[in-house]
Structure 1
Amino acid sequence: MIVNGPRMGNTIRAGLTLENPGGGRLFCLLADGGMLSLGPGEKLEIPVPGKLRPDFFLASKKSLGRFRKDTQRLEIALYRKYGGLALPDTVEGELIYPVGACLLESPEAFKWQRLGSGAARFQLLPRNGNAPLLSVETGDSLLGRSRFENLLKSGRKYHWRVQQEGQRFESWFSLLDERKLPVLSDRLQALATAELADSLLGDNEFGWLVVRVAALCELSLYYEARAAIREESGQAEDESGELRELLVQVRRLQRYGYLIGKPWVQNHGLHR
């Protein structure tokens, strides 16, 4: 809807071109409450939402259902194991990154907390192997990519551990199979198309963020899921606390998912 300008009150639909032929600025109010501003002579093509594949909604429904089931099962498991104990609302513990997640690419560095003044023994191991791919002693609390990048392959799972001052902490991570990248990209693009359609039609948004988060968590891409929630939090107020609760659910799946059969992770000393 144009709210100021020579065509005030006109409705501009998807697929048309909006042009400001006048001498002042033209303001266009979007169905989602946003605002566009066009200077003299500027044009803007209103995008048309693309068509969604028939299996898109089925796949989204399945991943969303799985996410909700996992979070509910985990809530029960946490209560049974820890009762009313206040659990840390973070993923990172003695090991900082990467912790219990699938990554899109090789990590920039392994990071951990220093546990003392002595050197730390870092080891990188294949999923089902006892022989380390890499074993080094370091006085730092991180190990850069140049030390291990050539050892990692997509679609594989790895364990890494740090021993220092008589303590040992370990976790797992994996690299997303390159063959899954096109499927993931298509899925996320379809979600963006669905969100755009909601916005242009002026409908109440379905809650596509939750669907996107569910799709990412399905592949254990927890860091990407958390980033998506933080991005949304930066764009909208979370008065009801829904975004905060969603972030907590993702963090708990990443940290305590072993309680419901998710990949095992031990790095916080909370396993009783």
Structure 2
Amino acid sequence: MHNEALEPKIKLNNDIEIPVLGLGVWKASNAKAATAVSMAISHGYVLIDTAKQYGNELGVGNGIQDGLKVAGKNRDDLFITTKVYSGDQGYQPSIDAIDGQLERLQTDHVDLLLMHWPVNDLYNETWRGMEQIYHAGKARAIGVCNFDVERLTDLLKNASVTPAINQIEFNPRIHQQAVVDLCRSKGIQIEAWSPLGNGKLLELPLLNNIAVAHKKTSAQVILRWEVQSNVIVIPKSVHEDRIAENADIFDFSLSADEMDQINQLNEEHHSRWYDDYQWYGNPDGDPNRIMQA
């Protein structure tokens, strides 16, 4: 299936283009990630987002190969993102880790490499390592995740390359306006993880009412609101019907009034935040899982 809407359409600060919607694979096993990625590519997805922390880079790499074969496409048709694992932070460790990540993903470069979390006392050195990875051509763009105003301001004072993206928790109930404002003032694109709020927003009456008016689902309304807010979205799913549904958001628009109504849902209540994530290892499981098929 060819879907022009899923092809690159936002230009990053280094002039490369990224799709506004992609597939996330957090919590998916290697097997499920492989299937989901292959299905997503067959449905026209270009952007695939994974991380070493997820333990499924190997599955994503297999899914990419399968999906490209079925779709008759090649590597350059995709936009692949992975992330620097917090256990690999620091200048040399981040450089040393990238080759293994590329091997699992079966590619010689990623289109975007993100720092997964701002590990205190290490993130500036990690960024310096990521700049080397970028200059070596192993990542076409580099960025960060989960950086607040304080840490991002500090990083920008030390960085030679301005991050292309800050991937943060963002959805109708979590706007992080101060972070968004800083990023936009510096030309840093916002990308949303948990764009659907872990599914907890789907039953909100306001969203249901707007969805009915447009003959869409609440999930599609949320994703449309985010895209119209100039935010890249990477909803996670391993179900083909949901993968297809999430992509079907480019044939309608929300009115200014509908956008404003959804804006009013903001509560700034994070599901998890970096005060709980100043870690150096793997808080979510066995690090050996990274290499398991």
Structure having the higher strand fraction is 1
TM-score of the pair, normalised by structure 1: 0.25
Query: Radius of gyration: which is bigger?
Result: 1
Structure having the higher helix fraction is 2
TM-score of the pair, normalised by structure 2: 0.24
